[in-house]
Amino acid sequence: MPPLKVLVPDQYDLYCAKYEELEKIGQGGMASIWKVRRRADDQIFAAKKDTQGFGQASSETKKLQRLKSEFIVGYQESFQNPNESETIIILEFCGGGDLSGKLQMQVEMEERF
């Protein structure tokens, strides 16, 4: 009898099965950020789609896994999409806007006084 073959879905398929992309919320030089919903419990996360290459993104992922602080966005998990040469990093969603917007608002508030 031939050995049993185990079919392992690729990581991108797992990402698509676990998360629904809701909207693109940011774009940088090497990555885009998507608001995603985890299908299992409807919890909202941010998905960073990084196209720097697997080595660079893998280094970032390893660092994020080790860092635990209330001041750092929390890491959940990551996936690789070999078709697009991208790493998808699932992070805690912070819905209060970006730092640049907060700083600009602070500058505008100071000018009013």
| CATH number, domain containing residue 30 | 3.30.200.20
Distance between CA 63 and CA 23 in Å, rounded?
26
Give me the number of domains the chain comprises: 1
Closest listed residue to residue 47, CA positions, set 7, 14, 11, 87? 87
Tens-digit pLDDT profile for the chain (113 aa)? 555 544 446 888 999 999 999 999 999 888 999 999 999 999 999 999 988 876 666 788 888 888 888 888 899 999 988 777 888 999 999 888 777 777 888 888 876 54
How many angstroms separate the CA atoms of 54 and 80, rounded?
8
3 part of a folded domain: no
Parent domain of 36? 11-112
User: For residue 48, which of 10, 74, 17, 9 has the smallest C-alpha distance?
Assistant: 74
Structure token pair of residue 50: 């990084």
Q: Is residue 104 part of a domain?
A: yes
Q: What are phi and psi of 47, to 5 degrees?
A: -115, 115
pLDDT tens per residue, range 13-30: 999 999 999 999 999 888
